[in-house]
Structure 1
């Protein structure tokens, strides 16, 4: 791992996502000065000893111009070395990159490249152009087109969506009607909808850091146990050279600069991995850190204008877990209070499936304040196990974008 010569002053773009919370742990363990801005006074980042200062800001979704002005004011008076976009703030920063460059270290590609992979439809079209593997996919713009495109079983996805939202697994006519009802409740078809064949296999994820089109850091992991909403409760690092090669091709084509992550399916029939989604950022980087690849540290170096050498592959077989996801997953699958208590016992004792695994999201032994959201989650679930889905959905906060805010940022009048 990279051992910094001096601590850096880092402004993290939000504090609500699991990715931001994990990046903060890595930054803190590396000795950096960390400050966070977020519209929520009770975001995950508030419960970390590594955060030196919290700035409550306007919401990215409700007021992207106000959020940008707030960040610019912080940069003007804060003397930050690096601005670290840990979620969809990168879309805004890429759009306004020329205004930010020279004022702070920032690793982002051109707005055109960022936009090409930010939407699921754009990423699917890119894969088609580059002749990279994905499940059979149709892009539709209306309910009638969706009905015509469905060949059961399929996955239906809105083009804009994050944290496993805007996804429906459609196995029969009843599932299709539910998806159509949900899609019709919003403006989903205005942003395009994808219909992908449902492939039997295991969903895995890969993360990378690029420096001006060159891949310099890579890591992949698979899900060992599921949490809630498609998230991972337990992960294990894996080697995926084919996926690394696909990412190299994507990054070179786009001239990518910064973090880039993909989801992919390893089919049960033993055929090659299929790419299914892209996130133009790092996603939950602690498993990579524990496996010997500090992607956050690498991203800081790229943000400061360095050209680091290519990092060696991460170690395979490294286990990590997210206790909050484990408890939410247990409750969401119909777990009783007794089941939740037993799951708590296994998590805290490191027994059963958690043997040999380390905590990613709330590392209490390293950061005692992180016990607060973990204990609150356990208390809520013990009081009402049925509240798991509601708690998970609460993560869709004002730090995320929707179609309306994306259109505002893309408009010629913005900024």
Structure 2
């Protein structure tokens, strides 16, 4: 298996599951210090050009790896799927790859495109407007609100607006260049964030899992997750996947409103997001993604167990520090994590599984040490994850101009 990158939490978890299942997994990444380097489950690391800065160079590197070595599957774990969907004719036949058409991928990848699709399908979302200038945004905003750039991942490019001062701050961060694309304005709905993960085979859903955020980390991530059963929600990504004739992994974020209203879809990730909670719940989405990548048409998976708790210790520590925690608070959090005390009792570590992969303790230990030295470094550390493996408007335009 050739994994498309090793910097994201999703890639790190996929590599864990591949290794524990006995697969030989190799990965490409521009950073020699990415998360996946700290794992004995990895067969080989390939240092490659960055997707964001050099998409054509990254694609050429992947093509060369597939030509030089025999890989059964090319597994896109993050935004590399946008490039691979565009260049699918150049990759097919060299390795198994589960992706929809480029048009479908682009619709799901764009927040504006996804919002329009929800409208067309009659699926629930918060009241949403698409604006193309700062003036339009000022005229349309109703507090509280959420402002989103059409391109963004892992809560990057999102502002929560509760006052005029928040709005001006968001406009300053956005700058004029952001409105060259589309900007979304949504009502801010109070509720619990949950995520629906699915795998499709030529438009048919064959795997589904949902979990809720029990404790937030930093940047919108989860420090503790709990699996849930959401039959009402399941029908929504199923309808999206059918409309897009989706092939591969698809994840959708939604809000369970505090007022007891219907779930509201708020974001789409055309990829597999952090699959470990699903695995612990009995839904091995990675295995099914490998099967359809190799041309199989497996029978649909039953839903997994609800109530399964998993944790990301790195996110917990970052969240503690970013929330104003002192060195003493961070030290206490380390003790609670190590001793599995509340709120971590009964949970399984998914990002740094030290018992099965001892070297994964290195990034966890380094994070703890840096935060104990400087709790204010939490935001900077979290932002370091927005690296060269992610796309921006410039790289997206470059990929759209590539020959398929």
Q: TM-score, normalised by structure 1?
A: 0.97
Q: Distance between the aligned counterparts of 1:414 and 1:47, measured in 2?
A: 36
Q: Distance between the aligned counterparts of 2:180 and 2:267, measured in 1?
A: 20
State whether residues 408 and 414 of structure 1, in contact with CA within 8 Å, keep that contact through their aligned partners in structure 2.
Answer: no
Q: 2:56 aligns with which of 46, 65, 78?
A: 65
Show the counterpart of 1:190.
180
1:396 maps onto 2:396 in alignment? no
Show the counterpart of 2:352.
362
State whether residues 201 and 266 of structure 1, in contact with CA within 8 Å, keep that contact through their aligned partners in structure 2.
Answer: yes
Q: Distance between the aligned counterparts of 2:214 and 2:244, measured in 1?
A: 32
Please report how far the alpha carbon of residue 401 of structure 1 lies from its aligned counterpart in structure 2 after TM superposition: 0.4
Q: 1:85 aligns with which of 70, 76, 87?
A: 76
Deviations for 1:340-366, whole angstroms, at most 9, x for unmatched residues? 111001111111111000001000001
Deviations for 1:224-266, whole angstroms, at most 9, x for unmatched residues? 1010111100000001111110111111111000000000000
Deviations for 1:77-101, whole angstroms, at most 9, x for unmatched residues? 1100000000000000000111111
State whether residues 65 and 414 of structure 1, in contact with CA within 8 Å, keep that contact through their aligned partners in structure 2.
Answer: no
State whether residues 95 and 111 of structure 1, in contact with CA within 8 Å, keep that contact through their aligned partners in structure 2.
Answer: yes
Show the counterpart of 1:218.
208
Deviations for 1:125-176, whole angstroms, at most 9, x for unmatched residues? 0000000000000000110011111011100000000111110000110000
Residues 123-272 of structure 1: matches in 2 within 5 Å? 123-184=114-175, 187-272=177-262
Show the counterpart of 2:23.
32
Where do 5+ consecutive residues of structure 1 fail to align? 1-9
1:344 maps onto 2:345 in alignment? no
Please report how far the alpha carbon of residue 414 of structure 1 lies from its aligned counterpart in structure 2 after TM superposition: 4.3
Show the counterpart of 1:44.
35
State whether residues 87 and 403 of structure 2, in contact with CA within 8 Å, keep that contact through their aligned partners in structure 1.
Answer: no
Q: Distance between the aligned counterparts of 2:132 and 2:114, measured in 1?
A: 16
Deviations for 1:179-203, whole angstroms, at most 9, x for unmatched residues? 011111x621112100000011111
Show the counterpart of 2:91.
100
Q: 2:293 aligns with which of 303, 307, 319?
A: 303
- RMSD over aligned Cα, in angstroms? 0.7
Q: Distance between the aligned counterparts of 1:105 and 1:43, measured in 2?
A: 25
Show the counterpart of 2:318.
328
Q: Distance between the aligned counterparts of 2:196 and 2:179, measured in 1?
A: 29
Q: Distance between the aligned counterparts of 2:378 and 2:244, measured in 1?
A: 39
Q: Distance between the aligned counterparts of 1:230 and 1:254, measured in 2?
A: 27
Q: Distance between the aligned counterparts of 1:284 and 1:383, measured in 2?
A: 29
Q: 1:382 aligns with which of 368, 372, 386?
A: 372
Secondary structure of the 1:352 match is coil
Deviations for 1:1-48, whole angstroms, at most 9, x for unmatched residues? xxxxxxxxx000000000000000000000000101001110000000
Q: Distance between the aligned counterparts of 2:147 and 2:303, measured in 1?
A: 34
Q: TM-score, normalised by structure 2?
A: 0.99
Q: Distance between the aligned counterparts of 2:286 and 2:259, measured in 1?
A: 35
Deviations for 1:318-342, whole angstroms, at most 9, x for unmatched residues? 0000000000000001111111111
* Stretches of 4+ aligned residues off by more than 2 angstroms: none
Q: Distance between the aligned counterparts of 1:248 and 1:168, measured in 2?
A: 29
Q: 1:119 aligns with which of 110, 115, 127?
A: 110
Q: 2:8 aligns with which of 14, 17, 40?
A: 17
Show the counterpart of 1:7.
none
Q: Distance between the aligned counterparts of 2:156 and 2:91, measured in 1?
A: 30
